[in-house]
Amino acid sequence: MNEIQGSWDEGIVVLSILIAVLGSYISLDISQHIPKAHREMKRIWLSMGSITMGLSIWAMHFIGMTALRLNVEVYYDWLDTFLSILPAFGAAFIAFYLINRTNVNTLQILGSGVFMALAIVTMHYSGMQAMVIPGVEMVYDEAYVTLSIGIALFVSIVALFLFKRIQSSHSTLIKIGSALLMGMAISSMHYVAMKATHYQETADYIFFPSQVGNKEFLILSVSVIMTVVLMAVILMNRMENRHALQIAHYDLLTKLPNRSYFVQQYEYLLKRARKNETMLSCILFDVDHFKRINDTFGYEAGDRVLQQIAQQMKGFQNKNIIIARLDGNRFGLLIQKEKSLEDLNGVLERIQLKFDQLNFSHGQFEFHPTLSIGASVKEFAPDIYDDLFIQAEQALHYAKNQGRNNFQLYNPEVHSQKRENLIINELKQAVSKEELSLYFQPKITVKSMQAEEAEVLLRWNSEKLGMISPGEFIPIAEKNGLIVEISEYVLRSAFKQLKEWEDTEFPICCLAINISPVHFQYGNIYQMLVGLIEDYQVDPSKVELEITETSVMKNIDQAVQTLESLRELGFRIALDDFGTGLSSLNYLQQLPIDTLKIDRTFVNDLDQDTTKQAIVKTVIQLANHLGAKVTVEGVETKQQAHMLQLLHCDHLQGYYFYKPMPCRQLEKVCDGEKVHM
C-alpha cells in the first residue's frame, strides 16, 4: 500500500496555535479568580475554567487537524468529534480542582499531571478517530506516539505548576509568557501526534485534485464555540468586578453607599468646590437612642429601622445629593448644588418633618425614633480649607447635647468653643474612666503579601459625648497639655499588647505607634520609652515610632539628637505623611529614619494620574538611596494596590486590605495567610 503524503495549510496552523495560547491565557486568568471568590462564585469559576481550558485544547486539536491537506475526501464524524471533548474537560477539571486546594505538594502535582496527560492523549487519539477518509487507513508510528505522550505529560505538569504560580502573581507579563509557553507546548504535543499518523491507501482509495469534506464548517463551528466561551468569561469578569465594587462601596443592609464611598466623594467634591469657587454642604445625622432600640426590641428591629430610614432618605436623592450610611446609626448627605444658609435650613426642616411623621412597629409595640442632625455649608475658594465633615460632626454633637431631636447648622462661635470645652473636660477623665481604646490597622508586606505589622490607632468612646474622632480630640489634647498622658496610655497599652502577642506567637510581630509632635518636642519621650522597655521586656526593634514632618521642623538639631538616641535603643523610626510638610530635602538627609510613609494624598487616583505615579516612584527611589523602606497608606482599590506593587514599595496599608479594628477582631482575621488582591 502506498502512503499518502499531505501538506500543511500554514494559516490554519497559526490559527490553531493562537487558539491554544488564547485559551491558556484565559484559563490562567480564571485561575486567579478562584482563591478570592466566595463559595458559590468559586464553583462557577472552577467550572468555567475547566470548560475554557478543555475547549481550547479540543478546539486547537480539531482546527490543527483540518490544517492537514491530503487530496482525499475527508469528513468529520460529528458524534465522535464532540464526544472527544469529554477527556479534555476531564484534564482541565483536574488542573482547576488541584489549584483550588490550599495545600498541594509536588508529588500530588506530578500524580495529577499523569492523569491529566492521559486525558489529553485520550482526547487527541479518540479525536483522530473522528476523521472519516474513504479508501485510507490510519497507521501510527509508535516512537512518535510515545514522544507525544511524553510531551503531554510535560505540558500537564508545567501547566499545573504555572497555575499555582500565577495565583500569587499579578504581573501581566508573567501571565502572557506563561500562556505562550503553555500554548506552544500544547501545540507541540498535537503536531508531534499528527506526525505519528501515517495515511495508507486501500483498495477503495480515490484521488481528488484538492481535499474535499466538511472542514470549513468544522473550523467555523469550533471558532463560534470558542467565541461564545470567551464572551461568557468576559461577562463573568464584569459581573464579579461589579459585585466587588458593590461590596466595596455599598452598605449591604440599607443598599445605600457606605462610608468609604462617601469620604471618596466628599474629597472629590471638596477639591472641585475649591477649584470652581462653589458651595458645598455636608449633613450628618444619628438615630437618637438607637442602642435602646436594639436592647429593647432586638437587633432585627434595629435593622428594620435603619432600612426604613434609608428608604425615606432615598426620597431626597438626586444627581446633586449623595446619601450614605456611614456606620452604625449614622447617615450622611452631601449637597453639591448651590445652597444658602436659609436653603439648607429648609432641607434640614424637611428631613426632620419627614421623620416626625414616621412610626415604626415591631410585634405589638410601636415606637417613634427621632433624629439629631448637624450640618455645615461653605462657599469655597482656592485658599479656603474648612473641613465640612468635622464641622458637621461638631454641630451634630452639639445637637445631641441640646437634648437630641433637633438640628444644628454649624456656627464656629457657638459650636467649636463650647464643644472644645466639653471635650477638654471629658478628656481629662478619659484615661481614668477607661474610655480610650486601641485599634489596629494591619500593614501588608509586599514581598510575602502577609500582614506582619500593624499601626496603632487611638479611639475615644466618651460616655457623655459618644464616639469622638481622633482628628477632633487629638489637636485639642495637644493644645491643652493633655497629650503626654494620652501618649503614655497609648505606648503602655501597645507595649503590653505586643508582649502578649509575642508570647502567643501571633503573626503581627511589629507595631507602628504615632508620636505626637508636641510630645516629641516637649515631652519626656526618651525616658518614657526606656521605662516601658524595662516594664514589658519588649524588643525595641519590634516597635516603629512614627513622627510627622512638623515634629522635626522646629528644631532639626534637637530632633536628630532625639531620634539617634531612640535608634540606639533599637527603635525603628518612620517619617509619617511624607511629602506634606518639608520644604527642603536638606532636612531629610539629616534625619536618621528607617521608613518613609507616603501620605494618602499621593495615592488618590494614582492608577490614572501619571504625575502622582512619577512622584511615588521618585520617593521610593529616594528611600532606597537612603537605605529606608517605604510604606504607602490610604490604599483603597485593587488598581492602587497593583500599581504600588509594580513600583516596588515595601508595605501597603489601607481599607482595601484591612480597616482599623479592635485587638480581638484583629486576632480573628490575621491568621498568617497570604492576602490575595
Instruction: List pLDDT tens digits, range 427-467.
Output: 999 999 999 999 999 999 998 888 889 999 999 999 888 88
pLDDT for the residue numbered 586: 61
At 332, the pLDDT band (50, 70, 90 cuts) reads very high
> What integer best gives the mean pLDDT of the chain?
80
What average pLDDT score do residues 303-321 get?
Answer: 84
- Give domain limits for the chain: 7-232, 253-410, 429-677
Q: Report the topology of domain 253-410.
A: Alpha-Beta Plaits (3.30.70)
What average pLDDT score do residues 244-264 get?
Answer: 80
Instruction: Check if the beta carbon of residue 483 is closer than 8 Å to that of residue 477.
Output: yes
Lowest mean pLDDT among 32-41, 150-159, 461-470: 32-41
At 241, the pLDDT band (50, 70, 90 cuts) reads low
Beta strand residue intervals within 252-353, DSSP E: 279-287, 321-327, 330-335
At 582, the pLDDT band (50, 70, 90 cuts) reads very low
% of the chain with per-residue pLDDT over 70: 83
pLDDT for the residue numbered 90: 76
- Asked: is 429-677 a CATH 1.10.10.60 domain? The reply is no
Res. 654: pLDDT tops 70: yes
How far apart, in whole angstroms, are the C-alpha atoms of residue 122 and residue 116? 10
pLDDT for the residue numbered 663: 92
At 536, the pLDDT band (50, 70, 90 cuts) reads very high
pLDDT for the residue numbered 442: 93
The 10s digit of each residue's pLDDT in 557-579 is 888 888 999 999 999 999 887 76
pLDDT for the residue numbered 205: 58
How far apart, in whole angstroms, are the C-alpha atoms of residue 508 and residue 514? 17
Number of continuous H segments (helices) and E segments (strands) in the chain: 24, 24
At 302, the pLDDT band (50, 70, 90 cuts) reads confident
pLDDT for the residue numbered 490: 95
Residue 547 or residue 162, greater confidence:
547
The 10s digit of each residue's pLDDT in 89-132 is 777 777 667 666 656 677 777 777 777 778 778 887 887 877 77
Determine phi and psi for 295, rounding to 5 degrees: -70, -35
pLDDT for the residue numbered 210: 47
Same fold, 253-410 and 429-677: no
At 583, the pLDDT band (50, 70, 90 cuts) reads very low
Instruction: Check if the beta carbon of residue 360 is closer than 8 Å to that of residue 308.
Output: yes
Lowest mean pLDDT among 9-18, 158-167, 277-286, 496-505: 158-167
How far apart, in whole angstroms, are the C-alpha atoms of residue 116 and residue 235? 28
Res. 212: pLDDT tops 50: no
pLDDT for the residue numbered 176: 80
End-to-end CA distance of the chain: 62
The 10s digit of each residue's pLDDT in 382-431 is 777 778 888 888 888 888 877 778 888 888 766 666 777 888 999 999 99
Helix (H) or strand (E) holding 59: helix 39-66
pLDDT for the residue numbered 100: 64
Res. 377: pLDDT tops 90: no
Q: What angle do CA 258, 263, 264 make, to 5 degrees?
A: 100
pLDDT for the residue numbered 581: 47
Res. 498: pLDDT tops 90: yes
DSSP 8-class letter at 414? I
pLDDT for the residue numbered 584: 47
pLDDT for the residue numbered 211: 46
How far apart, in whole angstroms, are the C-alpha atoms of residue 563 and residue 535? 21
pTM: 0.49
pLDDT for the residue numbered 4: 77
